[in-house]
Structure 1
Amino acid sequence: MSCLWNEVLAVLPPRIEDLRLEFSRTVDKSLVFLLRQIVELLYEGQDIVKCLQLSQTIIDFSWEKLNIGTWREVEKDWRRVYSHGCLFKAVCLCKGKTAVREAIEACDMGLLMGATILDNILIRLVKVLQNHKTTVKRPLEDAASHQEPSGKKPSVVPVIQEIRTSVAVPRVRCPSLEHFRAQYLIPQKPVILEGIVDHWPAVRDCKWSVDYIRDIAGCRTVPVELGSRYTDEQWSQTLMTVDEFIEKYILAQEEPNPIGYLAQHQLFEQVVGHKYIRLYSPEQTAKLHPHPTQLLYNTSQVDVENPDLVNFPEFELADFQECTLRPGEVLFIPVKYWHYVRSLDISFSVSFWWT
């Protein structure tokens, strides 16, 4: 661990003065005093335990300031204070023997909830920590190591839905930019693009899998939306590690997404697994019964797989296109095209949006 400690110290500015602990008057002077005290403890190699305690105090106090109201009401300097607290906590944790995961979590919280400080020092510190994360097992691995081997989990076989030719999204292989622009982008027509991401390592080398994602990012903390539809009362947002997300939701049966649209063009790349996708053009909007509120105007009230035709009778008359998107295929979704997505097996996708 002395190697890790030396690498972590190398990420920090060489001099105390380079930390630039300067904030506006909105930040209490007592907090600035504590931050400077932490810095002295770190740079002089004194009481790390006390340093860790003070760092947590900074985090707890500034966390309250981050949650005073809407995000736009939060003073940026309080976000900077929070990031400094997370930075110092992560550095202190690296002095221990098994706290690499906790140190990464502290960095991630600073990146997600704080502000950029010291030339993106939290990102640089995470890169150092990730090189040492293999020395620490995941909690699930620790528990599994004391259990009898249960054999390999059966693979999930996708239930591929038959697509009728009359409503199938057209396919084209490696079109030129000119052809794509003239035939699909300008006239705003959906199309499946084949072969255009074959050079991606994730596609070419078939690297992406649940185990691969957990290996490279399992300990990282990420924002997650919970709920099958964000129109449900139970829908919420939270922060959790990728490991926790995979164990609780990816390995469980996946729910379909609600039908909605984006005011942007979208390239939807299927990297692993299969997805069923249904598309409705903007001309079909009235038949999809959008929510009347401004907040959810781009979301349909209809449950696509179990439509309530008594309350939403016109939905049955709406024209649509559909497809099963396979690994390595890219779906172009034009602006304001309504789309419904359902995973057919464990799958990973990547999206690009532009206006």
Structure 2
Amino acid sequence: MEAAKEMSSLWAELEATMPDSKEELNLHFSEKVDTSIVFLLKQAGAQLYSKEKDKCVQTSKIILDYAWEKLNTGTWKDVDKEWRRVYSYGSLFKALGLCTQDHSLKEAIKVCDMGLLMGASILDNILIQVINILQKHFTIAKRSSEDGNIDCTRKKIKGSSCLFYPVMQLETAIPQLLCPSLQYFRDNYLMPQKPVILNGVIDHWPCLKKWSCDYICEVAGCRTVPVEIGSRYTDEAWSQTLMTVDDFVDKYIVNQHSSIGYLAQHQLFDQVPELKKDICIPDYCCLGEGDEEDITMNAWFGPEGTVSPLHHDPQQNFLAQVVGRKYIRLYSPHESENVYPHETAILHNTSQVDVENPDVKNFPLIERATYQECILSPGQILFIPVKWWHYVRSLDVSFSVSFWWS
């Protein structure tokens, strides 16, 4: 009885996000989309509104399989947005059609995540609305199940002993400030483009007390996210895949898989509003030229030993450390010739040199390059000026948040 009541409540919330009728779905596409696919989309919509959910799921699978081929032909930048809209509609119809039993909610959430990652916005970002409702009901069902499971283990982020702990030199240390005024930061660091560590700026962030593997799995465990496999993106064996946060934590954080997996993406905070509520955009970003919506927030979550090779970014960067510690080395843009950037267009912003173990025979100029360095700890923010080269290595299991702004 309770399960039926819960499903009835779920469907009522989902229906409230949908247009009042199938005619309002806006299933209009350019001639680039095959008429047969448009027919199937209209059929799936009609099946959904007539409560033929099983048929809707089957029709949506055909749509998604066909659209997937279109999305994976050629390069991503050449994929027509119309086919991304098709994929989003197929994801929406399939996810809603799956919402008949508790055990289907996890799959429905995955379908929505794939729509968000691969598709385009439809019906005023309805996939985000739907997935928030699904996750709320899935979490309730999951908690009810765990309440009766006395063997339920809780995963916590724990520090680990780093095999190589860098020795810091006073002359290379990045300066630190305690809550500088906006004007002081602008005049002494932003305008002259000098790196600095800011202390006391994010002490009020809830994430500093809340975030653990257990909490992240609780609020985002069922979400499908992109994961980078490999210790650094310049390795030949480096690759990308999609997996749930639960699987990522179990494989690469808790069980210390032989390879390294790293969750690095800018959509996580849009996908999981609970995490976004635990952080704030630093006030210093107001010194930039753009608006708040122009600021890009990135999540960086991974095990000890994960490396970001020496590279530079096209915008100013505030790197906020939430969990664990990171060793970071910075080189001024004036040192660009000495750090040997890759000559290819794709990696032109990445150095060929492993700065902690340089090959001085092939890259002799690296020895004359001057740098600054630090170990960034939880609660600290590092200001990395635009175009400054930076190398990052996680000393522990680490979760960082970066803010890119202009």
- Normalised to the residue count of structure 2, the TM-score between the two structures is 0.80
2:35 corresponds in structure 1 to: 29
Deviation by residue 1:103-158 (Cα, 9 ceiling, x = unmatched): 111111111111111111100001101111125559xx9xxx79x89998893245
Question: CA deviation digits over 1:319-346, x for unaligned, max 9?
Answer: 1111111111000011211111111111
Structure 2: tracts of 5 or more residues without a match: 1-6, 257-303
Q: 2:235 aligns with which of 229, 232, 238?
A: 232
Q: 1:264, 1:354 within 8 Å by CA — same for their partners in 2?
A: yes
Match of 1:126 among 121, 131, 134: 131
Q: In the aligned structure 1, how far is the partner of 2:108 from the partner of 2:340?
A: 48
CA distance in 2, matches of 1:64, 1:151: 40
| 1:98 corresponding residue in structure 2 | 103
Report what 1:17 is aligned to. 23
Q: Which residue of 2 aligns with 1:171?
A: 176
Q: Any conservation in 2 of the 1:98–1:136 contact (CA below 8 Å)?
A: no
Q: Please tell me whether the aligned partners of residues 174 and 197 of structure 2 are also in contact (alpha carbons under 8 angstroms).
A: yes
DSSP-derived class of the 2:309 partner: coil
Q: Residue type of the partner of 1:350?
A: V
Counterparts of residues 184-263 of structure 1 (less than 5 Å) = 184-203=189-208, 206-251=209-254, 252=256, 253-263=304-314
Q: What amino acid does structure 2 have at the position aligned with 1:178?
A: Q
* Contact 1:262–1:335 (Cα < 8 Å) also in 2: yes
How big is the shift at 1:290? Answer: 1.6
Aligned to 1:6: 12
Specify the code of the residue in structure 1 equivalent to 2:223: R
Indicate the residue corresponding to 1:62 in structure 2: 67
| Mapped contact 1:276–1:342 kept (Cα < 8 A) | yes
1:170–1:244 distance in 2 versus 1, CA, 3 Å: same
The RMSD of aligned alpha carbons is 2.2
- Name the count of aligned residue pairs: 346
Q: What is the distance in 2 between the residues matched to 1:178 and 1:151?
A: 45
Shift of residue 316, structure 1, vs aligned partner: 2.3
Distance 1:16 1:174, change over 3 A: same
User: Is structure 2 residue 66 aligned with structure 1 residue 49?
Assistant: no
Per-residue CA distance 1:197-255 (angstroms, 9 max, x = gap): 1222213xx11111111111111112223222222222222222212222233343432
**Would you identify which runs of 4 or more consecutive aligned residues in structure 1 move more than 6 Å?**
148-154
Question: Given the superposition, is the C-alpha separation of residues 34 and 99 from structure 1 closer, same or farther in structure 2, using an over 3 Å criterion?
Answer: same
Query: In the TM superposition, what is the alpha-carbon distance from 1:177 to its structure 2 partner?
Result: 0.7
Deviation at 1:302, TM superposition (A): 1.2
SS at match of 1:266: strand
Q: Is the Cα–Cα contact under 8 Å of residues 154 and 214 in structure 2 kept in the other structure?
A: no
Partner of 2:280: none
